[in-house]
Structure 1
Amino acid sequence: MNRNPLETILGALVLLVAAVFLVFAYTTADLRQVQGYPVRASFTKVGGLTVGGEVRLAGIQVGSVTGQRLDPQTFEAVVDMTVLESVQLPVDTRAVITSDGLLGGSYIKLIPGNEADTLQPGDSLQYTQDYQSLEDLVGEIIFLATQPAGGGGGG
């Protein structure tokens, strides 16, 4: 088989461009987990939250989800996460699992409280709100819409 040198050069060029693209995509995408102190939170439903997911405060990533497991006593999902050392969260901080739009993934939104005491490494967030899917919301709306108007019986 006789190969054309031009085909070989073009093939090598395509592979080089693909490698440059992969290096560019890896370096610009923030795929690393945030290093910080560990905290955990328990939820009855985590939706599509995954390990490596973001933990945000005021829309800014301040942490990463590092693990998920099922508590065999309470049957709740325990989510382990790290939070940046520079972010000292009050002990009454609330953790909410929410989605990043209709097609986006899930992340943990932190809503800081007002307490003076702060969370220490390894502490658990006491106030959590479970993931609420679009199907759950539509079901609630339909349930409310099918209820009879007026709540009392008069007679």
Structure 2
Amino acid sequence: MKNSAVETLIGAVVVIIAAVFFFFAYQTSGKGHASGAYRLSAEFDNAEGVSVGTDVRIAGVKVGSVVDFTLNTGNFQANTVMEIDPKVKLTDDATAKVTSEGLLGSKFISLEQGGSEIMLADGGVISNTQGAVDIWSLISQAMFANKGPGDGGAAPAGGGQGVPATDTKSP
């Protein structure tokens, strides 16, 4: 009898911990966002690494998250809908950029305030966007940029760096 009461108590504690964990996950996923937040949309030519729940930040501080992420089949750009904290007011010339936390860190959308006096309202569109930079393409271009067909990447004749070869024979 004593063992079943202890087992029941331990089971109840496990269920309560699981419920707290799921509540926390729901709140941090952006689905259970505080009421009053407003939505903005932006389209990116390359939104690699962005998905529903991705952070939206200003100056490194989280001010919202991505709540919808679809492909615009008309122009083949990634359409993102972001839910922004109501305390943060953005101008109609604000900029949205897909960036990452360091060289190989996770992606997020960085917003930068513009200089206009016209504020974006709920349902507004950020038209100034910059998509994600493909770091592996940049590395590949840097590695293979100086190699022409057949030169194997060797230094040019004359010692390299564009210095012409000199004749060492005396007259």
TM range (shorter): 0.7 to 0.9
Are positions 1:60 and 2:61 aligned together? yes
Aligned to 1:90: 91
Where in structure 1 are there 5+ consecutive unaligned residues? Answer: none
Aligned to 2:13: 17
Aligned to 2:135: 137
Structure 1 length-normalised TM? 0.75
For 1:138, the aligned partner's letter is W
Q: Deviations over 1:78-121 (max 9, x none)?
A: 11112122211122211122334677643222111222222122
CA distance change for structure 1 residues 27 and 73 in 2, over 3 Å: closer, same or farther? closer
CA distance change for structure 1 residues 151 and 21 in 2, over 3 Å: closer, same or farther? farther
Aligned to 1:146: 144
Q: Separation in 2 of the partners of 1:128 and 1:43?
A: 6
Where in structure 2 are there 5+ consecutive unaligned residues? Answer: 147-154, 165-171
CA distance change for structure 1 residues 26 and 104 in 2, over 3 Å: closer, same or farther? farther
Q: Separation in 1 of the partners of 2:105 and 2:84?
A: 22
3-state SS of 1:62 partner? strand
3-state SS of 1:65 partner? strand
Aligned to 2:76: 75
Percentage of pairs with the same residue: 29
Q: Deviations over 1:26-69 (max 9, x none)?
A: 45554222542221000122223222332221222222212122
Q: Separation in 1 of the partners of 2:24 and 2:102?
A: 22
Q: How many residues align?
A: 147
Residues 99-138 of structure 1 mapped to structure 2, 5 A cutoff: 99-100=100-101, 105-132=106-133, 136-138=134-136
For 2:145, the aligned partner's letter is Q
**Bigger relative contact order, structure 1 or 2 (CA pairs below 8 A, ≥6 apart):** 1
Instruction: Point out the structure with max Rg over C-alpha.
Output: 2
